Amino acid sequence: MKLKVKNFNWLAGRPVVVLNEQAAKKLNVFVNDRIKISKPKKVYAIVDIFSKLVSKNQIGLSHELSKILEVKNGAEVEVSSSEISEASYLIKKKIDGKTLTGEELNLIISEIVENNLTEAEIAFFTAAQKLNKMNLEETINLTKAMVKTGARLKFKGKYLADKHCIGGIAGNRTTPIVIAICAAAGLTLPKTSSRAITSAAGTADVIETIANVELSLKEIKKVVHKTGACLAWGGSLGLAPSDDKIIHVERMLNLDIEPQLLASIMSKKIAAGAKHIIIDIPCGKGSKIKTLDKAKKLGDKFKKIAKRFNLKLKVVYTDGTQPIGNGAGPVLEMIDILQVLQNKGPKDLRDKSLYLSIELIKLCGIKNAKEKAEEALASGKAYEKFKEIVNAQNGTNDFDERVKNLQPAKFKKTIKAKKSGTITEISNKGINSICRILGTPETISAGVYLHNHVGKITKKEPLVTLYAESKSKMKDALKFIKKFKPIKII
Amino acid sequence: MKLKVKNFNWLAGRPVVVLNEQAAKKLNVFVNDRIKISKPKKVYAIVDIFSKLVSKNQIGLSHELSKILEVKNGAEVEVSSSEISEASYLIKKKIDGKTLTGEELNLIISEIVENNLTEAEIAFFTAAQKLNKMNLEETINLTKAMVKTGARLKFKGKYLADKHCIGGIAGNRTTPIVIAICAAAGLTLPKTSSRAITSAAGTADVIETIANVELSLKEIKKVVHKTGACLAWGGSLGLAPSDDKIIHVERMLNLDIEPQLLASIMSKKIAAGAKHIIIDIPCGKGSKIKTLDKAKKLGDKFKKIAKRFNLKLKVVYTDGTQPIGNGAGPVLEMIDILQVLQNKGPKDLRDKSLYLSIELIKLCGIKNAKEKAEEALASGKAYEKFKEIVNAQNGTNDFDERVKNLQPAKFKKTIKAKKSGTITEISNKGINSICRILGTPETISAGVYLHNHVGKITKKEPLVTLYAESKSKMKDALKFIKKFKPIKII
């Protein structure tokens, strides 16, 4: 039946429509049932009934649906009751321990994209992946399905490259440095990154301290065309859009689901058009992957998937036992990055970034990769390239001014070593937690500055400086440190 | 902070509140976050933001929440942002394959009851139960938690009894007959039943053809006090209220989760105050449990749980290979029941009901159970008892009139055997599906009447008569029969 749209500025957190009781009866749907809107776009929605808000000829759209449908008030949409989702039978099949075919995964993923699965059904799907595992073939098919249901970027150029780190390490903001070095060395890098989930900051949060990261696909093309690279937020681009919905559900329990992790990363790289990819897997005590052995098992899966998609991919296994760089928090990390790009700043961050850059340039089949990367950094070309990218993303020329405005938060507190000895452990989780307590990533100027890494320390030497915009947050962070002792000295 | 209630007659299908953007900001919550309402009752709700509907001092309640809170427009409620649910960590623990303690299960179940877990989190919980299993101790603790978080009924009397069938068999409406016989024999049976989920009718749907089944706890007490038994709908009584929410999620994928099934059944029996319980597990091809071996494994778990709760419980394993009784559908089943209670009607239904009654009376430690049950039925005392219960539930004396008004649907169609031979199979699922197509349980007069069960049949003998209130439904049912042949003759 046809109903007239009424757009409500109503944030429901899910694609909901409001129907009048009479319209619901006519459609033979009840609350929480799903309807299909087939025109102007095929999309599914959940039914709320709220007769005071809409007449029997109207359909009220939540903000989430208004955004998808983009129709004006009064415009007609074609609405019908939705058949029972076939995908839910397939999810049950996976729960029952069976293997899903490519076609079946396509159906599940496209129904996720079209909103025809509830969050509970997505939870069953991810739980089944976690507990019944997925074989390589399924993981590849899942990746394909995730690419297929989203937008894609296409670039010309021989050296289309990307990097990815599976995360978990505080600081460790190598991406902007690697992108700057590699772009200066002639690679094309349409890089998209995420915002923080549980960490102090995501790459997108850090870049956002000086550049606009919310680019459209068209803007990304323009920036990459102009500068050879970009540092955009991947969130709203629609590359592998099923991923956001799945991650939203996984995050409720903070689950790490391997096939989903593999498909999520690989589908986004494929959709962004990369052909040469470096995957950084930090491992060791205190990181996501505790042993090199486990890291290699995961790495092998990345390689196998890449092979099937005809991509050149190299996995590097790096030290994940302590934070990388000194700053943790958007502004503090950006300050580290700018320092490294100017041949100053934390050596560990510089070394790791250079190492990743060399590997990526090498992977593209370019000779003298080491010399090229080192030269790009030492000569200041990488810094110039970074400036160029930031200015292109902002559409301005005020890079230097923006850099000048980068200031850590106004309240600071330095904690010193109570005794001489050896720092044996700096907990990544601990540093991330302190940052969150101090207000990151929302408060971009908050965070932790590490004066020392694992190694010798003398009494009264500074360990960390905390930055916050509120005294109460500072107090909470100090309490946390006292309780959990994220830095161990013996 | 305090907010003023605005009750909306808004069916959202979940406990949602509408906040003004400013109130949300002040509470530091965003869409899909949870808030805690601590006064007048502790309950959690999901946040929608819809500034046009409420002012910054107001909170809009969905129908679901209005029902729980029972506060008037303009009344103040105390609202705060909700801490991250600890239960979600515990669910993750179960996903990770660990065992949950009694205390941990208490926390999960009470957060389910208080709405502090999303449907996706409940899905993770049930998936973890399904895939990582639960040991006996966990199942017992789950049962305890489910009882603890709900209402309880208490009755005096030596012979507090109940029966339960795990379902899956078309027709098979033994409950009203067993209750009538056993109550006539002196047992006390505060029986609550469910409505149909996927079958042609639930016991509550069948009873509702002549009696009010939506009783309050107080009314149940009154009816049981007066007649020794009741036949109420268990749905809104609040006995083990977590169950409804869990079942709602399980049903999305039509999952059967054993620990949940055990805890669900046992918690309701315990909450209803039963001390002697018969569990009927139909088994064999075409039923939920395919083999006697599997049925016994399940039965043993019932017994072990009962032992821990100090209950007398007997499991009977019955023939689940074909429908029991002739009618399937609310009115048709009630007609069968009334016939049996008047010593007429389908022999299989009579025999099974009598058998269950004898076992239950025996379980109570009453001597000469067989004679007592047979006498109650043959003498008409069971029929009188049934009449008494129905009249008590209705608060009237019009039983006979109600019986007279029981009429199958106006369109009927009899299907006859095309050849002589043997009926080898009557599919329970098939008969249930035909009933649903014909309109049950909503159309109480619709359904299927089986003229013959498995065994010899002569050409042109009637097999089934279909009843429907609409010609198009009749047509659809005939199509279904043609396609799926639920009755096999060789």
A114 with A165, same domain: the answer is no
- pLDDT score of B28 more than 80: no
Helix (H) or strand (E) holding B456, with range, is strand B455-457
Residue A127 Cα, gap to closest chain B Cα (Å):
6
Helix (H) or strand (E) holding B230, with range, is strand B229-233
Write out the residue range of the structural domain in which residue A118 sits: 86-133
Find the residue in A nearest to B11 (Cα).
Answer: A49
| Predicted local confidence at residue B320, as pLDDT | 95
B70 with B191, same domain: the answer is no
A313 with A351, same domain: the answer is yes
Phi first, then psi, for residue A225 (nearest 5°) are: -60, -40
Q: Which chain A residues are closer than 8 Å to B8 by Cβ? A: 50, 52
Q: Which chain A residues are closer than 8 Å to B32 by Cβ? A: 13-14
Region at B83 (left for phi over 0; alpha for psi -120 to 50; beta for the rest)? beta
Say if the Cβ atoms of B119 and A120 lie within 8 Å.
yes
Q: CA distances (Å), B14 to each of A12, B46, B114, B165, in order?
A: 12, 8, 12, 30
Could you tell me where the DSSP H helices lie in B2-118? 21-27, 63-69, 86-95, 102-113
Would B245 be classed as within a structural domain? no
Say if the Cβ atoms of A11 and B49 lie within 8 Å.
yes
DSSP class of B54: S
Would B143 be classed as within a structural domain? no
Residues B414 and B462: beta-carbon distance below 8 Å: yes
Would A145 be classed as within a structural domain? no
Residues B271 and B217: beta-carbon distance below 8 Å: no
Nearest to A95 among B31, B51, B127 (CB): B127
| Residue from B328, B335, B336 nearest B467 by CA | B328
| Residue from A148, A227, A151 nearest A190 by CA | A227
Region at A39 (left for phi over 0; alpha for psi -120 to 50; beta for the rest)? beta
* Interface contact B10, partner A, CB < 8 A: yes
Q: Is A164 helix (H, G, I), strand (E, B) or coil?
A: strand
**What is the count of structural domains for chain A?**
4
Say if the Cβ atoms of A31 and B12 lie within 8 Å.
yes
- pLDDT score of B165 more than 90: yes
Three-state SS sequence of A351-420: HHHHHHHHHHHHHCCCCCHHHHHHHHHHCCHHHHHHHHHHHHHHCCCCHHHHHHCCCCCCEEEEEECCCC
- pLDDT score of B115 more than 90: no
Residue B46 Cα, gap to closest chain A Cα (Å):
9
pTM for this entry:
0.83
| Predicted local confidence at residue A344, as pLDDT | 95
| Predicted local confidence at residue B323, as pLDDT | 96
Residue B116 Cα, gap to closest chain A Cα (Å):
12
Q: Which residues of B are catalytic?
A: 256
Q: Which chain A residues are closer than 8 Å to B10 by Cβ? A: 18, 48-50, 52-53
Interface of A with B in 114-143 (CB under 8 A): 118-124, 127-128, 130-132
| Residue from B314, B275, B268 nearest B187 by CA | B275
Interface of B with A in 166-185 (CB under 8 A): none
- pLDDT score of B82 more than 80: no
Amino acid at the residue A162? D
Nearest to A95 among B18, B89, B255 (CB): B255
Whichever domain contains B337, its CATH number is 3.40.1030.10
- What CA–CA distance (Å, rounded) separates A346 from A451? 10
Average pLDDT, chain B: 93
User: Tokens at residue A358, please?
Assistant: 């060399």
Would B140 be classed as within a structural domain? no
- What CA–CA distance (Å, rounded) separates B155 from A427? 58
Residue of A244, A256, A319, A398 marked catalytic: A256
User: pLDDT per residue over A231-243, tens digit each?
Assistant: 999 987 889 889 8
- What CA–CA distance (Å, rounded) separates B446 from B440? 6
A111 with A75, same domain: the answer is no
B8 with B128, same domain: the answer is no
B434 with B484, same domain: the answer is yes
Q: Which residues contact A170 (CB under 8 A, 6 or more apart)?
A: A199, A200, A323, A324, A328, A426, A428, A431, A432, A435, A448
For chain B, how many residues are written?
Answer: 490
The bridge status of strand A2-7 relative to strand A58-61 is parallel
- What CA–CA distance (Å, rounded) separates B298 from B308? 16
Nearest to B92 among A32, A47, A255 (CB): A255
A437 with A381, same domain: the answer is no
CA dihedral A28, A30, A36, A39 (to 10 degrees): 70
* Interface contact B22, partner A, CB < 8 A: no
B189 with B92, same domain: the answer is no
Q: Is B46 helix (H, G, I), strand (E, B) or coil?
A: strand
Q: Which chain A residues are closer than 8 Å to B118 by Cβ? A: 119-120, 252
Would A138 be classed as within a structural domain? no
| Residue from A366, A370, A348 nearest A358 by CA | A370
Instruction: Among B16, B48, B84, B86, pick the best mutation site for testing chain A contact (most A Cβ within 10 A).
Output: B48
- What CA–CA distance (Å, rounded) separates B458 from A168? 74
| Residue from B468, A336, A236 nearest B480 by CA | B468
Say if the Cβ atoms of B92 and A51 lie within 8 Å.
no
Which residue's entry shows tokens 């502790």?
A: B42
Residue B122 Cα, gap to closest chain A Cα (Å):
7
Tell me what percent of the residues of chain B surpass a pLDDT of 90: 78
Q: Which chain A residues are closer than 8 Å to B122 by Cβ? A: 120
| Predicted local confidence at residue A412, as pLDDT | 97
User: Tokens at residue A212, please?
Assistant: 């606009």
Find the residue in A nearest to B33 (Cα).
Answer: A13
Rg of chain B on CA atoms, in Å: 24
User: pLDDT per residue over B431-465, tens digit each?
Assistant: 998 998 898 988 999 999 999 999 999 999 999 99
- What CA–CA distance (Å, rounded) separates A262 from A309? 13
Start-to-end CA distance of chain B, whole Å, equals 73
Query: Burial letters for B192-230: b for 16+ Cβ neighbours within 10 Å, e otherwise?
Result: bbbbbeebbbbbbbbbbbbbbbebeeebbbbbbeebbbb
* Best-predicted range by mean pLDDT (A8-22, A187-201, B231-245, B293-307): B293-307
B346 with B472, same domain: the answer is no
- What CA–CA distance (Å, rounded) separates A357 from A177? 8
Within 13 A of B75's CA, how many CA atoms are on the CB side?
Answer: 13
Would A207 be classed as within a structural domain? yes
Q: Which chain A residues are closer than 8 Å to B47 by Cβ? A: 13
Residues A283 and A246: beta-carbon distance below 8 Å: no
User: pLDDT per residue over B382-437, tens digit each?
Assistant: 999 999 999 999 999 999 999 999 999 999 999 999 999 999 999 999 999 899 88
User: Tokens at residue A418, please?
Assistant: 């109570």
B338 with B435, same domain: the answer is no
The bridge status of strand A161-165 relative to strand A276-283 is parallel
Would B155 be classed as within a structural domain? no
Query: A–B: how many Cβ contacts below 8 A?
Result: 121
CA dihedral B70, B73, B77, B80 (to 10 degrees): 110
Strand partners, B4: B58, B76
B350 with B484, same domain: the answer is no
Would B154 be classed as within a structural domain? no
| Predicted local confidence at residue B147, as pLDDT | 95
Question: Counting beta carbons within 10 angstroms of the beta carbon of residue A245, is it exposed (0 to 12), middle (13 to 18) or buried (19 or more)?
Answer: middle
For chain A, count helices (H), then strands (E): 19, 19
- What CA–CA distance (Å, rounded) separates B204 from B211? 9
Whichever domain contains B467, its CATH number is 3.90.1170.30
Helix (H) or strand (E) holding A304, with range, is helix A292-308
Find the residue in B nearest to A119 (Cα).
Answer: B120
Among B65, B81, B97, give the residue marking a domain's end: B81
Which residue's entry shows tokens 């440095």?
A: A177
Provide the 10 A C-beta neighbour count for residue A420: 12
B348 with B458, same domain: the answer is no
Q: Which parts of chain A sit beneath pLDDT 70?
A: 83-84
User: Tokens at residue B323, please?
Assistant: 């429908």
